[in-house]
Amino acid sequence: MNFSWEYFFELFLKLPAYIPVTIFIAIFSMILAILVGALMTWFQLSGHKFLKYFANTYISLFRGMPTLVQLFLIFYGLPQLFPVFQGMTAITAAIGGLGLKQSAYLAEIFRAAVNSVDKGQVEAGQALNIPGWKIFIHVILPQATLNALPATGNTFVSLLKETSLVFTLGITELFAHAKMVAGGSLRYFETYLAVGLLYWIMIIIYTWLQSIFEKDLAAPYRRSVDESN
């Protein structure tokens, strides 16, 4: 085995220059996924049959189709069907494709989180004639957010790794640059090992930040439990 540690460490220090593009795509895709996922959750929980049917069809479609196919349909297919999409940049298509894909998963996560909130609290608020929107904002939303956070974090981790697919649209992010370097140097193992470790480090950092956020978000509930004891 002809493994070059010198080349590995040299590449390990150079590749992070392309991490900002990866993080940019991941963050804005996640923002889109949260917004659309929340909308689909609202449709699912509404009493309107058409909205529920639309949301269920949307979730089934985007969960059942491979991510790469969705990226190609958005970037290459939409401009052919709708002239307004002509001139769409590859990054826009990447954010749209990844965001819509993950929104289908987030919709199910958000729905389960809302349903996990004790219905007795909602009924108590209604008995006190508290407006429905106040009950949602002050009672349901904080608890649902806390319940949904672990699964939402896992979705972002998957999204961060799925950004490696956007090289197929011509975007030079972390994986795309590594692929070109590996093809030129023929040192595939060193290159892809460096890339894999960089993705791992990003996920470790994000997991640490998420754990801090979870503790801060859960602090009021821990204090309430301690005071009751």
| Prediction pTM value | 0.88
Whole-number pLDDT of residue 225:
47
pLDDT in tens, 84-130: 888 899 999 999 999 999 999 999 999 999 888 878 777 777 777 77
Q: CB neighbours (10 Å) of residue 206? A: 16
Burial 78-111, CB ≥16 within 10 A → b, else e? beeeeeebeeeebbebbbbbbbbbbbbbbbbbbb
Residue 2 backbone phi and psi in degrees, to 5 = -105, 75
pLDDT digits (tens, 9 = 90+) for 128-172: 777 777 777 877 888 888 889 899 999 999 999 999 999 999 898
